[in-house]
Amino acid sequence: MGRTSTARRWSGSSSPKPAKKLIPVIRDDDTKRVLGTCKGKDFVQLRDEAIIRLYCNTGARLSEVGNLTLADLDMSTDSAHYHAKGNKDRRVHFGPKTARALSRYLRARAKHKGADLPDLWLADCGVRRLAPNGIKIMLKRRGLAAGLTGVHAHRWRHNFAHEWKRAGGDTGDLMLLLG
């Protein structure tokens, strides 16, 4: 009888809606704290700052930044060519602070053992790329060093969308921009 009475109770009315889960964004002061862990001029600090600034400034997915090649970066137009989900490529512009961080990283990268690799992001030792999973680990480590938990690339993506909407941006334009 339990099943039929439940079915009768719900018939004619919509099913219960799950509670909306708020998507966590990363606040500007938290981003500053994470960037603060990248202070310095060694290769890893320059690379990590450039990566974090790209996420923060463009709202990209982990894989989009993680799979960038040197050819995908255009420093003359301050833009990156992202290879998005579903074969939907797009070019995204970044700001002057991100451009400076990338420029500093590229100069350090040119002196690295793996400078001849086509991948933009290089591992700190050896001649190999820094894969998206390595970036994921780095972001978590940088977050913990800043005293934060739950730091990952997608939080900057949510933050980018949140700020876009707060500034009165159009949802359709945001969808195109974020791929």
Q: Please report where in the chains the tokens 């003359």 appear, as a residue.
A: 76
Res 159: pLDDT: 85
Res 1: pLDDT: 47
Distances (CA, A) of 32 to 47, 134, 148, 154: 16, 21, 12, 17
Res 5: pLDDT: 47
Res 22: pLDDT: 66
In the chain (179 residues long), the average pLDDT of successive 10-residue segments reads 48 60 81 97 98 95 96 98 86 97 98 97 95 97 97 86 78 72
List the domains of the chain with CATH numbers: 27-161 (1.10.443.10)
Task: Identify the three-state secondary structure at position 91.
Answer: strand
Res 174: pLDDT: 65
